[in-house]
Amino acid sequence: MTKKKRVYINTIGCQMNVYDSGQLMTILKAHGFQETHEVEQADLIIVNTCAIREKAVQKMASFIGRFAGLKQKKPDARMVVAGCVAQQQGKKIIERFPYVDVVVGTHAFRRLPALLEDRELRAAPVVDISMTKDIEKTDSRTLLRHHQTNISEFVTIMRGCDNFCTYCVVPYVRGPEISRSPEDILSEISVLVESGMKEVTLLGQNVNSYGMKEGLCTFPELLKKVNEIDGLERIRFVTSHPKDLSPELIESFGRLEKLCRHIHLPVQSGSDRILKRMNRRYTAGAYLDKIRRLRQTAPDMALTTDIIVGFPGETEQDFYQTLELIRQVEYESLFAFEYSDRPDAPARRFKDKVEPPEKNRRLRELFALQESITRNKQEAMVGRTVEVLVEGESKKQQKQKYPINEASTELTGRTGGNRIVNFSFGLDCNLDINNLKGQTIQVRIEKAFSNSLWGIPVGMEFTSRQNKGGYVHVA
Ligand code: SF4
């Protein structure tokens, strides 16, 4: 029997790349590969790249650079560069890194097995960055046979973007918006639910405009259909463009019991002048109005956002308007970045750039404000009992590889508002940890940290192994 080739995928960037890497792995497994988590052992190394910020591109370059040494030791190993930078740079990647074997763009990655064969036949690097108007259909049988399903999974509902924010490369590297059919999306989710998924995150660059171009159902209608899938417990989605957040979508939070009360709504700036230069097509006032309506519909709604500081032309006053908006909304958490020029993005031509030390100062000031808001919000959770969907061992537990102490191990899960909750689980209980994964349990919060909460499960009755027939009531 021939030994299976091993494949290692390094994913850089957003959830969309995480999903694409999962699809790629499923396709490669169907072609006889097996997954490895050790890059040195791999026969095929793939880096799925991100072009959104310069740092992500540098990360890719340093990863590919490391492969040069490995290729000398293992000449038959193959290296693939996939994703947004592959789409953007194409054969320039081969010119810069001549030992790369295949460059495959955002629309072509499903053809990778054929491209790898082509690489062997031609004994030369292969580049495929062609774009298509079609969108992939789920191959449910392949998914069932070759995909290791997790409690929580991403499912892409659309690709590309038509919005052309002036700082962003996505419309250029991922192409125009294309939505998958509702039937195809529902079939993929049903297959994943059958094999153990409990929580789905619907992905798209702008899910709020799902189906509009193709005349499919609207996004709120799609959510309603997903909500009806038996066995699915939670629904999330990212990302929403504030301009397309419709009253129907806001009402969905009040109507659909599986839809988590959390929305990631990127605001990018609190200044109308800067929002206009970014081509975001909403004002800070309109954004705040939507936040108010979201909170009217679901008072416990958790809110997160993205912010860019130091966009060209951003004055101190513009920046303080952003801080003021953060104070008003009181986000659970946020992602903030210093603006950086991106090839293809129109804002790189704006002359009035903010100096790097100033961008850095603003970023630190913004983080300090958000940290104090997050701390207050986390501390307010202490003493409350929350619903947690159990995902498995906590990060700390996974690193230790042995129980945190003799009596218990530490598990982790998330609340509907997307807060991480870790909790101890008694090892003397005859409740199998694997049975607990995917269950929704009540946890009383005892401690708050900046990125997580710690608590004790409530109302769970465990039969002690040492005291068969008795119950240890954890409350
Ligand atoms: S909405 Fe704007 S920021 Fe988001 S992907 Fe599209 S162009 Fe980029």
> In the chain, where are the structural domains located?
6-128, 140-379, 385-474
What CATH number has the domain spanning 6-128?
Answer: 3.40.50.12160
The closest residue, in CA terms, to atom 2 on ligand 1 is 165
- pLDDT tens for 245-269 read 999 999 999 999 999 999 999 999 9
Closest CA to 400 of 415, 422, 382, 418: 422
Q: Which tokens sit at 235?
A: 């629904």
In percent, the amount of the chain with pLDDT more than 70 equals: 90
Distance 236 CA to ligand 1 centre (A): 19
Q: Is 205 in the pocket of ligand 1 (CB under 6 A)?
A: yes
Q: Is 161 in the pocket of ligand 1 (CB under 6 A)?
A: yes
In which band, very low, low, confident or very high, does the pLDDT at 313 lie, cut at 50, 70 and 90? very high
Q: Is 334 in the pocket of ligand 1 (CB under 6 A)?
A: no
Distance 170 CA to ligand 1 centre (A): 6
In which band, very low, low, confident or very high, does the pLDDT at 356 lie, cut at 50, 70 and 90? very high
- Average pLDDT along the chain: 89
Closest CA to 311 of 265, 364, 244, 362: 362
Closest CA to 28 of 138, 126, 136, 110: 110
Distance 306 CA to ligand 1 centre (A): 12
Bond prior to 239 in cis (omega within 30° of 0):
yes
Distance 266 CA to ligand 1 centre (A): 10
In which band, very low, low, confident or very high, does the pLDDT at 372 lie, cut at 50, 70 and 90? very high
H-helix or E-strand spanning residue 90: none
Confidence at residue 429, expressed as pLDDT on a 0 to 100 scale = 59
Dihedral angle sign, alpha carbons of residues 377, 382, 387, 392: positive
CB pairs under 8 A, 24+ apart, for 292-295? 293/247, 293/250, 294/250, 294/253, 294/263
Q: Write the burial class of residue 475 (CB in 10 Å: 0-12 exposed, 13-18 middle, 19+ buried).
A: exposed
What CATH number has the domain spanning 140-379?
Answer: 3.80.30.20
Q: Is 52 in the pocket of ligand 1 (CB under 6 A)?
A: no
In which band, very low, low, confident or very high, does the pLDDT at 468 lie, cut at 50, 70 and 90? very low
- pLDDT tens for 113-153 read 999 999 999 999 999 999 887 766 766 667 766 777 889 99
Rg (CA), the chain: 24
Closest CA to 197 of 205, 188, 206: 188
> What's domain 385-474's architecture?
Beta Barrel (2.40)
Q: Hey, is 314 helix, strand or coil?
A: coil
Q: Write the burial class of residue 104 (CB in 10 Å: 0-12 exposed, 13-18 middle, 19+ buried).
A: buried
* Residue the block writes with tokens 């101890």: 424
Closest CA to 362 of 271, 300, 278: 271
